[in-house]
Structure 1
Amino acid sequence: MFDNLSGKLDKAFKNLKGQGQISEINVATTVKEIRRALIDADVNFKVAKNVTDTIKEKALGQDVLTAVSPGQLLTKIVSDELTLLMGGSKEDINLKGEPNIILISGLQGSGKTTFTGKLANHLKSQRNILLVACDIYRPAAIDQLKVLGEQIGVDVYAEPENKDALKIAKNAIKYAKENNKKTIIVDTAGRLAVDEQMMQEIESLKKNLNPAETLFVVDAMTGQDAVNTAKTFNERLNFDGVVLTKMDGDTRGGAALSIRTVVDKPIKFISHGEKMEALDIFHPERMASRILGMGDVVSLVEKAQQNFDEEEAKRIQKKIRKNNFGFDDFLSQLEQIKKMGNLKDLMGMIPGVGKAIKDVDIDDDSLKPIEAIIKSMTINERENPDVINGSRKKRIANGSGTSIQEVNQLLKQFDQMRKMMKTMNKMGGAKRMMSGMNMFGK
């Protein structure tokens, strides 16, 4: 996500590297490169021109402090402007009233039904959720929503034989009230903006249901087409917020950077991948930081806290104190990490790491050989890795479909990690680290 744009902006800032002061010439050259980078990322031309004109004006109007280089100053200005371009600050969805109705709209193939499941999963800890299947056109839509509902433990209301979306929705509201459901999320049929009959249907749903929140789901990979479609839908629906899906794909980022200015509606969520946990609240300032290669530590800590098992952490900490942290404990920690989302995205949130791994292929499958090696060990070997000798390594390698070299590498890394944990424990580092995480959560 945004790799191409990040690389080009980084190149643009290099024009100021080594420059002692900001001048009209070096700023003009840098701003020209920034504008080109934004347009290449499929940002609306007028939006790109306006934001770069503002950046140039602000850069020339500031004196550079001796402690700050021109490149650092311009990076800060660009970060501020990108943040404003994407909305300035996060905007939450409206969860007032009971039952609270959220209407989901979007184009065919935008990932709308998957997002509906992700949103229910995101909200289920706060609210008693009911999913409503109002896509009466796509044969597999109802089944897909039922599968997602079962996967996340949320009820789904459907009437497969009924071909009246409004009647289904009204019956679902009655059912929700009778069964104490606090929030109703209505999944509608994906439609084309040119399909007048289906546009009238979604308009009728909004008018009659009077939802607290209407969200428009759009595929971020479609760039400016996404922005234009959002504009057309907004003229008919006057929706409350935008959801950008498929942010893990080969997207140039133009939709995320343009949509707020063109449509004047906030981006509320970004979705990436198929996992039900792969949904993030949209924070403009954090996204700007990631685009500029500065990472996003706050989001990383929040993800860790969401998937943080306090009892498991206490158990692990106790084992570290007694110096008997084993491979079963390590496997448990890998499971916690996998719940947090795509590995490359997570690593990209660490400042400075995003650029380093830009061309490196990292996915969740990269953990499978490690898991296979550990699962090929006996219980005794997992608890006491020091007993693993040459013949045991050969058996483990054969059992896991890996090589002896890979087994050796894992054993070496595990030994180093245990030594580091032992050192941290002596210094009280684990406790300090947990205190730091709690500080971020406040």
Structure 2
Amino acid sequence: MLDNLTKRFSKVFKDIRGQSKLSEDNIKEALREVRLALLEADVALPIVKDFVNQVKERALGKEFADTLTPDQAFFGIVNEALIELMGKENSQLNLAATPPATILMAGLQGAGKTTTVGKLSKFIKDQDKKKKILLVSADVYRPAAIEQLKLLAEQVQVDFFPSDVSQKPVEIALAAQDYAKKHFYDILMVDTAGRLAIDEEMMNEIKAIHAAIKPIETLFVVDAMLGQDAVNTAQAFNEALPLTGVILTKMDGDARGGAALSVRQITGKPIKFIGVGEKINGLEPFHPERIASRILGMGDVMTLIEDVQKGIDEEIAKEMAQKLHRGKDFDLNDFKAQIQQMRNMGGFENLLSKMPGELGQISKQIPEGTAEKAMAHVEAIINSMTPKERANPDIIKASRKKRIAAGAGTTVQEVNKMLKQFEQSQQMMKMFSGKNMQKLMRMAKGMKGLFPNMR
């Protein structure tokens, strides 16, 4: 995500490092690099000019703490300017309406609108499991659009209001809203038809739906990889509809970042969410300060923590902790459970990409999907074992390895490799068992003297 910008800005700060202070002469080249970085990212020229002027003005007209080096001071200025450009803070969904709070989804075909409806309904449900959500498709043009949304509703475990290609979109939306009112739904989400390009017919249709159902939120879904075209499309929709926010999809594939940096400034509407990956949980609230942190190579620790908290099954974690406390061995069932927890957190590559510094850079060197395939491979090998073998890995000798390899459709060498990985995890987990846990606790208490604020 936004790799090109990250590389450019890293060069900017590296070039300033070693200067005694910020001056017009030594920031001249840095500002040129900032300008190039933004133009290459497909950010609109007027925005680039304003941004560079703002950074220059702040860099030359501000006193900095003696503890800050010039590159640290310049980093702070650029970080602050990026956050302001993208909207300062996260803009949450407004669901404060007489139920059902109606959300209308708009956008072009291929932007991932229908998938985003599923992702957003899952996000809302995860935030509040008591929310009663109803989905409806008013897309009567695209083959299988209605069926796709129905399947997504089943996957997310929310309700679906049936519609038919013979009906008119406005009638579908009104019927769904009436049903939602009568059956006490908290939220109604209306998916609309997209087109390959903006046309008058589409705009008139979505305007009619909007006028009929009067949604509390009108969200424009757009492919971030379109860059400046994404911003222009958002502006066209904003002129036709009273948009309340934007969702940028395919952000994980966007190396440039032009849409993320331009949409707020040009449309005046906040980016509320970003879509990352194809999984149903691949939707994140848009936090300008976190995206600025990613752009500047500092990772996104807050989102990483949230991913971990969402992905951890508390019952499994509690059971594992009790087992380790009793000094019981970590077995292949536990190893498999760890892999599944990692997948629930968005996968290894996703977690690594949010780490700061060099760790975050490592994720860019891993071919996309490699880690996910490796984890699925390990799971397949463990699934080929008997319950006895999973609980007692020491009994897995040559003949058993051959049978396991055949069952998993792999080789004995791969089985050996997986068992080696397991042994390394087992050794690490032993550090947290029985007496070793008590030693670690004593060490932690000793650390409090060094770090008074540590809990």
Choose the corresponding residue for 1:249, options 247, 253, 267.
253
1:382 aligns with 2:382: no
Give the aligned residue type for 1:304.
Answer: V
Question: Which 10-residue stretch deviates more, 33-42 or 14-23?
Answer: 14-23
1:221 aligned residue:
225
Alpha carbons of 1:160 and 1:53: their partners in 2 closer, same or farther (altered >3 Å)? same
Cα pair 1:193 1:199 within 8 Å, conserved: no
3-state SS of paired residue (2:346): coil
> Structure 2: how far apart are the matches of 1:403 and 1:11?
45
Alignment size in residue pairs: 432
Give the aligned residue type for 2:277.
Answer: G
3-state SS of paired residue (1:20): coil
Alpha carbons of 1:110 and 1:382: their partners in 2 closer, same or farther (altered >3 Å)? same
3-state SS of paired residue (1:358): helix
> Structure 1: how far apart are the matches of 2:281 and 2:198?
33
Structure 2: where are the runs of 5+ without partners? 445-455
> Structure 1: how far apart are the matches of 2:408 and 2:194?
44
1:344 aligned residue:
349
Question: Which 10-residue stretch deviates more, 101-110 or 416-425?
Answer: 416-425
How far 1:139 sits from its partner (Å)? Answer: 2.4
Deviations along 1:362-391, one digit per CA (max 9) or x if unpaired, are 422131222122223332222122333344
Give the aligned residue type for 1:116.
Answer: V
Question: Which 10-residue stretch deviates more, 262-271 or 311-320?
Answer: 311-320
Cα pair 1:424 1:430 within 8 Å, conserved: no
Cα pair 1:162 1:168 within 8 Å, conserved: no
> Structure 2: how far apart are the matches of 1:260 and 1:36?
21
1:10 aligned residue:
10
Cα pair 2:136 2:163 within 8 Å, conserved: no
Give the aligned residue type for 1:274.
Answer: E
Cα pair 1:21 1:64 within 8 Å, conserved: no
> Structure 2: how far apart are the matches of 1:391 and 1:65?
68
> Structure 2: how far apart are the matches of 1:389 and 1:7?
49
1:90 aligns with 2:94: no
Cα pair 2:89 2:289 within 8 Å, conserved: yes
Choose the corresponding residue for 1:359, options 352, 365, 379.
365
Alpha carbons of 1:342 and 1:332: their partners in 2 closer, same or farther (altered >3 Å)? closer
> Structure 1: how far apart are the matches of 2:188 and 2:88?
29
> Structure 1: how far apart are the matches of 2:347 and 2:48?
30
What TM-score does the superposition give when structure 2 sets the normalisation length? 0.90
Alpha carbons of 1:315 and 1:430: their partners in 2 closer, same or farther (altered >3 Å)? farther
Alpha carbons of 1:298 and 1:137: their partners in 2 closer, same or farther (altered >3 Å)? same
1:414 aligns with 2:414: no
> Structure 1: how far apart are the matches of 2:401 and 2:118?
44
Choose the corresponding residue for 2:272, options 268, 293, 300.
268
Question: Which 10-residue stretch deviates more, 375-384 or 38-47?
Answer: 375-384
2:448 aligned residue:
none
Structure 1: where are the runs of 5+ without partners? 433-442
3-state SS of paired residue (1:269): strand
> Structure 1: how far apart are the matches of 2:70 and 2:417?
44
How far 1:303 sits from its partner (Å)? Answer: 1.2
2:451 aligned residue:
none
Give the aligned residue type for 1:410.
Answer: M
1:106 aligned residue:
107
How far 1:402 sits from its partner (Å)? Answer: 4.0
> Structure 1: how far apart are the matches of 2:272 and 2:87?
10
Question: Which 10-residue stretch deviates more, 215-224 or 70-79?
Answer: 70-79
1:55 aligned residue:
55
3-state SS of paired residue (1:124): helix
2:449 aligned residue:
none
Deviations along 1:317-362, one digit per CA (max 9) or x if unpaired, are 1222223221111111211211222432221111121223323214
Matches within 5 A, 1:205-354: 205-321=209-325, 322-352=327-357, 353-354=359-360
1:121 aligned residue:
122
> Structure 1: how far apart are the matches of 2:297 and 2:159?
41
> Structure 2: how far apart are the matches of 1:334 and 1:124?
24
Cα pair 2:312 2:345 within 8 Å, conserved: no
How far 1:59 sits from its partner (Å)? Answer: 1.7
Choose the corresponding residue for 1:136, options 133, 136, 140.
140
Matches within 5 A, 1:362-441: 362-363=368-369, 364-425=372-433, 426-427=436-437
What TM-score does the superposition give when structure 1 sets the normalisation length? 0.92
3-state SS of paired residue (2:190): strand
> Structure 2: how far apart are the matches of 1:284 and 1:208?
34
Q: What percent identity do the matched residue pairs reach?
A: 49
> Structure 2: how far apart are the matches of 1:68 and 1:374?
52
Alpha carbons of 1:356 and 1:157: their partners in 2 closer, same or farther (altered >3 Å)? same
Alpha carbons of 1:69 and 1:403: their partners in 2 closer, same or farther (altered >3 Å)? farther
Question: Which 10-residue stretch deviates more, 420-429 or 322-331?
Answer: 420-429
Cα pair 1:134 1:169 within 8 Å, conserved: yes
